[in-house]
A and B are shown apart, each in its own frame.
Chain A
Amino acid sequence: MQRREFLQRTGAGLGMMALAELLQADSGTPNPLAPRRPHLPAKARSVIFLFMAGAPSQLDLFEHKPDLQRLHGESIPDSMRGLLVDEFKKNAHIMGTSRHFQQFGQSGHTFSDLLPHLATRADDLTFLRTLSTDITNHHPAQLIMNCGSPQFGRPSMGAWVTYGLGSESRDLPAFVVMTSTSGLGIEGGASNWSSGFLASHHRGVTLRSQGDPVLHVSNPPGLSRDMQRLRLDAVRDLNNGHRTATGDMEITSRIAAYELAFRMQSAVPELTDFSKESPATLESYGVQKEETRAFGTNCLLARRLVERGVRFIQLYHSSWDDHKDLNKNMTKNCGMIDQPMAALIGDLRQRGLLDSTLIVWGGEFGRTPMTEVRLAAMEKGREGRDHHALAFTMWLAGGGVRPGISVGKTDEIGFNAVEDKLHIHDLQATVLHCLGLDHEKLTYLHQGRRFRLTDVGGQVIRKILA
């Protein structure tokens, strides 16, 4: 309900003075997240980043390497050993996959039997097969992926994007984070959606799956929405008075934050109310099935957030850190995400939203073509793969990228790039480019230095641009 309407409807004994002041506050409150023009023509309006925390194995999902089977049990060549930092990895033996691979669609993209649903969307996907990152520990690597640097305190991609573009939603936060898990949490936690040194309204707001989707978004017991409005009006008027007394514009920000809070109180329940979704839609996302409920709900919420103009949506699924029991764990995790993410792509396409929404899928690094050499993983049937930063796979779909193609080629066992080596900063530059942002111009002056998401690197991956 709009403020004016509310006033007309309730007429709750407000004096004319207060009314005038109120209306002025409504139109005169500066919105720090007002939409801003991009540097370049934008292809995508929103981003949905499906972040696979813990790092899934590219070699058991997308990268079909017959030589991996052939060389199973052999040592890696010295040339490859030399590229590894960790001693124990150097002695690890090559490990074949127990998955079956098949090509799908006109694109001929390869998928393993773990992702039957995603495979049906093959021609919507664009693969980056030679991504690399700087570090093979989860937390710092997750920070590089999200914030461009392993250091704490840098803004995340979502924060940079809302800083650059603002938000088209007046009623919901510009950057929304949702999480789902098969057991273990996200190694890097909330530092992954930090606003760093940018203003705190750029920080990702988590939508929760238990209790209030946003903490305390429900009124206290007994307070109706009208009563809440009464309370807020009084808070605002008194705050306005204090702003006059102190001259502090920060009070304006507080008033704006209270107004957004109030709008969120109706926008969030509306967002999370699936009663108007068709049974077919709910079924396609797997919202009612135990296995797919968590990620399916988050995917459906992501679509609804896109429809409501939210700029950057990040879904975290954890954890893919399969040092051991790789087959068992990947079967479980893929079972949780495969159907929902395929449904998300299909649903966005059907609604004409895929062209303006960029979907990004991937983890903080990949996994080794060799077996894990620690303890439990050495038991038969419990094998796993270790962290691997030299080459891994991510895919994109939707706004701004050419569907059905791949960039980058790795060697026979998927250890390292042999063509088109890419870095995480290249991916970040490309995502920003699709949104109309020049990664070298999107900067923020902090402690005497102009910081940017891509740190000092990054080149737009032009080959995949639509």
Chain B
Amino acid sequence: MRRHLLGLLFALGFCYAEPAVDFSKQVAPILQRSCLSCHNLAVQSNGLRLDTKSGALAGGYTGKVIIPGNSERSRLIRLVSGQEKIVMPPAGPRLKPEEVAVLRSWIDAGADWPQGYALRVAQPTKPKHWAFIAPANVTPPVVGAATFVRNPIDQFIVARLKRDGISPSPETDRRTLIRRVSLDLTGLPPTPAEVESFINDDRPEAYSVLVDRLLASPHFGERWARPWLDLARYADSDGYETDQLRPHAWSWRQWVIDALNRNLPYDKFTIQQIAGDLLPGATLEQTLGTGFHRNTLSNREGGADLEEYRVEQIVDRTATVGSTWLGLTVGCARCHDHKYDPISQKEFYQLYAVFNSADEVNIPAPADGEWGEYLREWPGYLKKRAELVGRLEAELAPELAEWERRILEAEKKPGVDYRWDRQLELLGLIWEGNKGGGQLEGVYILKTPREQRTEAQQRRFFDYFLRQGSLVNPDKFKTLNVKEAVKQLDALDKTAPPLTMAPVVFENPLPKPNYIHVRGDFRSRGIEVTPGTPAILPRPEPEGGKVDRLVFARWLVSRDNPLTARVAVNRFWQELFGAGLVLTAEDFGTQGAAPTHPELLDWLAVQFMESGWDVKKTLKLIVTSATYRQSSKVRPDLLATDAQNQLLARQSRLRLPAEIIRDQGLAVSALLSPKIGGPSVHPPQPSAVAKEAFETPWVVSNGPDRYRRGIYTWLQRTAPFAQFLTFDAPDPTRTCARRERSNTPLQALTLLNDPVFVEMAQAFTERLFRERPDLSPDERIDYAYRTSLGRPATAAEVARLRQYFEAQRALFSKDDTAASKFFGWKIPNVTQEESSAWAGVASILLNLDEFLTRE
């Protein structure tokens, strides 16, 4: 069959002599009609131009397409005659056989192209997309509504409303305002005392003081870290099928919370995460920021190609940085030029090249108080270790050297002995698995000359060798009883003094080639590229210099970059109003939504930069505006014209994010642990959920760690915490700039029946009696409202809940075991049926739409 097919191809390719071809009369019209719309000066699909001689002969990303004198080897011919997987042109009529023959003859005759003959294509001149032009220094419009306006934001909003003859909404009541701003800035509801103190504070600066207090709260960082973690696709496990643990991932999360709390300016926040390790004299603190890059997935599955998954990580980093800072879907240009935005495939791989030599490493990042103890205990551990494996180290030294040599050989020349191919693969994949070890860290140690390896590297490498290296000399491993030694070493390691590690990246000095991956496949090498930034955006400084990660990071936050500040302030806005001024927070490209208030967006972006990228100051500016402080009541007059509330003639009612629903319930029921920071915890959840994850038991935390804020909950990628998923927490495998806010029966079932929420209702009941044991039932209902919703209950609400309470108590009085099953605690001087019926009341409050909503 093979011979037959080859014969056929040969027959097709066979040419006979043709008369000379006239370029302008025969060739140019074909190119003009069928090729030029995608291969011209402005649009260079796959890097190819066919409008000039030099362009046509230079070829595209995959190399030359015309080889003068040899049509058979010219890719152009193969593409237009259907001999490749792709046929050109991809749309419109295919070339006729006689047209292909013309092109063949022309190429065979030397592809003569008269000097200076350029083909023209009619290009409609499109104005530059708004987001690629630097934000304008806008003066806020002058508006008359002096009674409404509190700061320039309001001038922009009112000016836009006036165009449609709409007036803004009045300021919301003070109780709603303090609950709103508390939830928005700290993710926690105000206590009843805080509410009372605010509504009784009649100083003109009362609200400003409140905002300052909330911004200074350590809970601010917890609240505002969460959307950043969404963007960074943060999780505590590797992802993919084996989904191993990353017990140190939290170090970076902690860095984010701390950075927000100390109001690290956004430009520094950016630089430290992109390239903190490259700053001159980089501190530990600055280096920890680069943990941002370590949130990519890692594939530790056997049979995976090491380079394939490394490439996958770099691609993901490139795409994630693109959407997080630039609000551009640069990842779309991985396989081909971006279909809509001016980002070519070449530019994608130039960005990729910026990150290509950042490799993974874990470094010690001692937690508070850890370092001293570690220093004291560590020598003792080393001594015990030496007793255990010191002899093995000496005896196995030749085997270790041989093992290293064979693996290095297998890397250079794969396919000779699959067992050694496999050893290499394993070293790359399973290195410090379940310890969050860096992808390929073991391979880098292998490649580091032995005398240059640190003591820790040598030790870890030898540990690995003991466990995985027996192939080099199975008999000797058996004779020396290495298995037993490993067992004892495992036991000893459990006694080693703890030292928190942090995942970071470092710049690997070993050069890695950078080239275009044709159709996104790294095995298909296209032309070489150097690190760089998209041409549509201003050039990085210094002009013409090498673009490394640090140069790139500084470029992101340079005053000339039209995107970074806009994208950031838009996300602040989104958190505070439910939707960004650009609705598509993840896409500022041509397919994204146009800004509803372009001048306001620009003004905010400029303010943000001029404030020194001061995040807290910018948030304060927004939350102290009259626009933010409006009532969120739906306006029937606007339903027809602005149902989505894009013009902001009112605030929006927003269903709270998944974690805050939990946090608020814990706060109201006085269960919440106030502890800030530290490793992830495992609050209770149905065991069936965790069983979905591969080989990872969910061991429920004890004591206060059951009641920590949601941001500290362990995130296992293959089986994320069920309650969070139910309330639209994003899939932590991809960057997410904008969460959904859905409304489903599963949410109702969670709030009604999840033992965690039932426990909150019980604890809330206990709190009500503990704090105010002497209230009448109606007063208690009112107090419950004040505690959970920050407002008194209306008479109708008191009546309705009283009615429920009596009915429920009557049912419980008939069935005492039911009552004690529902509420197992004892409240002094309260009957079982009464306390259980109160727990029913408490759970109703935790289920109210108002409770789940930031009004």
Contacts and interface: CB of A to CB of B under 8 A. Distances in A.
Contacts of A85: 85, 519, 521, 524
Given A79-B9, A220-B758, A227-B840, A242 B850 contact: yes
The interface residues of chain B, by DSSP majority, are classed as: helix
Contact of A375 (B303, B722, B743, B797): B303
Task: Tell which of A12, A15, A215 has the most Cβ of chain B within 10 Å.
Answer: A215
Nearest to A237: B800
Given A75-B2, A246-B634, A215 B653 contact: no
A386 to B, nearest CB: 11
B848 A185 contact: no
A85 B520 CA distance: 11
A260 B821 contact: no
Contacts of B653: 246, 248, 250
Contacts of B820: 222
Interface string B610-637: 0000000000000000000000111110
Interface in B811-839: 811, 815, 817-823, 836
Contacts of A232: 752
Contacts of B753: 216-220
A348 B191 CA distance: 59
A20 interface: no
A277 interface: no
A418 interface: no
A190 B732 CA distance: 12
Interface string B331-358: 0000000000000000000000000000
Interface string B745-768: 111111011110010000000000
B418 interface: yes
B845 to A, nearest CB: 9
B688 A210 contact: yes
B687 A211 contact: yes
B2 A77 contact: yes
Contact of B848 (A238, A265, A374): A238
A323 B302 CA distance: 11
A239 interface: yes
B2 A215 contact: no
A268 B635 CA distance: 39
B804 interface: yes
Given A189-B718, A230-B804, A231-B840, A200 B744 contact: yes
Interface string A199-210: 111010100111
Contact of B303 (A216, A261, A323): A323
Contacts of A242: 848-850
Contacts of A223: 818, 822
B744 A221 contact: no
B835 to A, nearest CB: 12
Given A215-B750, A222-B819, A231-B843, A82 B718 contact: no
A378 interface: yes
Interface stretch (A251-259, A392-400, A457-465): A251-259
B370 interface: no
A257 B726 contact: no
B591 interface: yes
A86 B740 CA distance: 37
Interface string B565-588: 000000000000000000010010
Interface in B475-518: none
Contacts of B840: 227, 230-231
Given A217-B749, A257-B743, A261-B745, A247 B755 contact: no
Contact of B743 (A189, A226, A253): A253
A152 interface: yes
B822 A221 contact: yes
Contact of B844 (A215, A231, A253, A412): A231
B843 to A, nearest CB: 7
B229 interface: no
A212 interface: yes
Given A210-B688, A227-B808, A264 B241 contact: no
Contact of B749 (A211, A216, A237): A216
A234 B5 contact: no
B747 A257 contact: yes
Contacts of B745: 173, 257-258, 260-261, 264
B803 A14 contact: yes
Interface in B692-734: 692, 694, 718, 722, 725-726, 728, 731, 734
Task: Tell which of A82, A224, A261 has the most Cβ of chain B within 10 Å.
Answer: A261
Nearest to B797: A238
A400 to B, nearest CB: 30
A249 B636 CA distance: 11
Interface string A447-463: 11100000000000000
B764 to A, nearest CB: 14
A231 B687 contact: no
B393 to A, nearest CB: 30
B743 A200 contact: yes
Contacts of B691: 210
A164 B743 CA distance: 19
B687 A378 contact: no
Nearest to B847: A235
A234 B754 CA distance: 19
A245 B789 CA distance: 15
Contacts of B523: 86-87
A78 interface: yes
A113 interface: no
A199 B728 CA distance: 12
Given A222-B822, A226-B811, A253-B743, A211 B849 contact: no
Contact of B6 (A78, A152, A228): A78
A61 to B, nearest CB: 23
Given A78-B5, A221-B822, A242-B850, A261 B688 contact: no
A264 B749 contact: yes
A191 interface: yes
Interface string A122-160: 000000000000000000000000000000100000000
Interface in B380-411: none
Contacts of A86: 521, 523
B13 interface: no
B796 interface: yes
A211 B686 contact: yes
B84 interface: yes
A189 B730 CA distance: 13
A378 B418 contact: yes
B303 A376 contact: yes
Nearest to A139: B733
A247 B633 contact: yes
Contacts of B804: 230-231, 233-234
A15 B799 CA distance: 11
Given A200-B744, A211-B687, A211-B688, 18 more contacts: A77-B6, A87-B523, A200-B728, A201-B742, A210-B691, A215-B689, A215-B722, A217-B753, A222-B817, A228-B752, A231-B752, A234-B800, A238-B844, A257-B745, A258-B752, A261-B752, A375-B418, A448-B591
Identify the 7 closest CB pairs spanning chains A and B, nearest first.
Answer: A200-B742, A222-B821, A222-B822, A247-B634, A261-B748, A211-B688, A261-B745
22 contacts: A18-B800, A82-B84, A85-B524, A187-B241, A199-B742, A201-B742, A201-B743, A219-B752, A220-B753, A222-B817, A223-B818, A231-B843, A234-B803, A235-B848, A242-B850, A246-B855, A247-B635, A257-B748, A265-B749, A374-B303, A376-B303, A412-B1
Interface of B: 1-2, 5-6, 9, 83-85, 241, 302-303, 418, 421-422, 425, 519, 521, 523-524, 584, 587, 591-593, 632-636, 653, 655, 686-689, 691-692, 694, 718, 722, 725-726, 728, 731, 734, 740, 742-750, 752-755, 758, 794, 796-797, 800-801, 803-804, 806-808, 810-811, 815, 817-823, 836, 840, 843-844, 847-850, 852, 855
